[in-house]
């Protein structure tokens, strides 16, 4: 009888606790979490990122993103990361209803406000706080909602950017196979390499007439006007470095026309012409080289290691005769 009474009391306690939790809903899992309709990347036309002291506006035109009002070209990879977060924004848990925004970096001094448009229609607005201790979530607040949520993903850093960080820093772009001539000038020295094509046998010990087309491949060489052979390895390395050259940063207070008398110039001729001019450092202690190129309308900075890798003496690019 005592055992039966204890069982009844235990069942009653469980029911009472369940009823209490149901009525009070203190556990955040009882809340219905906000859900969003997908915003496909192709439909987004404008993104505004606001912080306490700055507003950045990204606009898309003909599938190219720019930073207003200057019209700087935006880094497509960084914008794509933002679009991925915007499209897949998912709330995983309700964190707080207390409006303690300072604790989560969602107060006015620290929050990042993100607004997303499709055409002239505001499609999404949310505030980004600090990264959660899991490093797999970010604290966010939604427009018109005082509550604080966990959002899936660690993405504050994706939106916490300056204009300079968001700029596309690619200053030269071309296909190496399109280049037919390399013109280099360093100080008083200059040299021109012309691309040549020839056949190279790949099967040793056979006469030319005995070799099939598969055993003969096209060999690319570089020669000067005087017939000297260029060092193919070094010239290929030079082209590889220039074909996707990124600068460290841009020089915002000067124009390209302000830079004259370069210490090193490269002119590449092919389907199009591409140029890079590097200028003397500001002083001996400086680690930066100012430069201009055909790939951007703005002067920029190359780090010392970048510049020195490019600025080879013309004589170093000629193939050395083997003894």
**SS3 state of residue 165:** helix
Residues 48/56, Cβ–Cβ less than 8 Å: yes
Looking at residue 13, its pLDDT comes to 63
Closest among 170, 197, 178 to 272, alpha carbons compared: 178
Distance CA 171, CA 282 (A): 21
pLDDT tens digit sequence for 194-251: 999 865 544 444 454 555 555 445 688 999 989 999 999 999 999 999 999 999 999 9
Closest among 192, 168, 188, 189 to 180, alpha carbons compared: 192
pLDDT tens digit sequence for 48-96: 999 999 999 999 999 999 999 999 999 999 999 999 999 999 999 999 9
Looking at residue 306, its pLDDT comes to 95
Closest among 276, 303, 305, 304 to 291, alpha carbons compared: 276
pTM given for the model:
0.80
As a residue count, the chain comes to 323
């Amino acid at each position: 009888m005592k055992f039966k009474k204890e069982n009844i009391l235990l069942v009653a306690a469980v029911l009472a606790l369940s009823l209490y939790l149901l009525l009070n809903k203190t556990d955040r899992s009882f809340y219905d979490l906000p859900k969003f309709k997908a915003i496909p990347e192709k439909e987004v036309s404008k993104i505004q990122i606001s912080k306490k002291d700055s507003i950045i506006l990204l606009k898309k035109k003909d599938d190219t993103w720019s930073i207003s009002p200057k019209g700087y070209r935006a880094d497509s990879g960084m914008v794509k990361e933002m679009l991925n977060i915007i499209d897949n924004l998912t709330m995983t848990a309700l964190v707080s209803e207390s409006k303690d925004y300072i604790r989560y970096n969602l107060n006015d001094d620290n929050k990042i406000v993100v607004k997303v448009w499709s055409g002239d229609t505001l499609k999404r607005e949310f505030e980004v706080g600090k990264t959660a201790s899991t490093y797999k979530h970010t604290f966010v607040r939604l427009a018109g909602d005082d509550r604080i949520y966990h959002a899936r993903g660690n993405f504050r850093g994706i939106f916490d950017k300056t204009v300079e960080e968001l700029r596309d820093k690619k200053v030269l772009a071309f296909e190496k196979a399109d280049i037919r001539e390399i013109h280099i000038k360093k100080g008083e020295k200059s040299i021109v390499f012309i691309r040549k094509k020839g056949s190279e046998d790949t099967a040793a010990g056979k006469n030319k007439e005995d070799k099939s087309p598969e055993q003969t491949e096209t060999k690319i060489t570089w020669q000067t006007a005087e017939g000297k052979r260029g060092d193919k390895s070094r010239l290929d390395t030079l082209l590889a470095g220039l074909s996707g050259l990124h600068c460290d940063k841009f020089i915002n207070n000067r124009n390209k026309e302000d830079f004259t008398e370069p210490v090193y110039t490269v002119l590449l001729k092919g389907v199009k012409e591409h140029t890079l001019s590097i200028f003397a450092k500001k002083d001996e202690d400086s680690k930066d080289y100012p430069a201009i190129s055909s790939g951007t309308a703005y002067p920029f900075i190359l780090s010392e290691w970048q510049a020195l890798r490019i600025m080879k003496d013309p004589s170093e690019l000629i193939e050395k005769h083997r003894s």
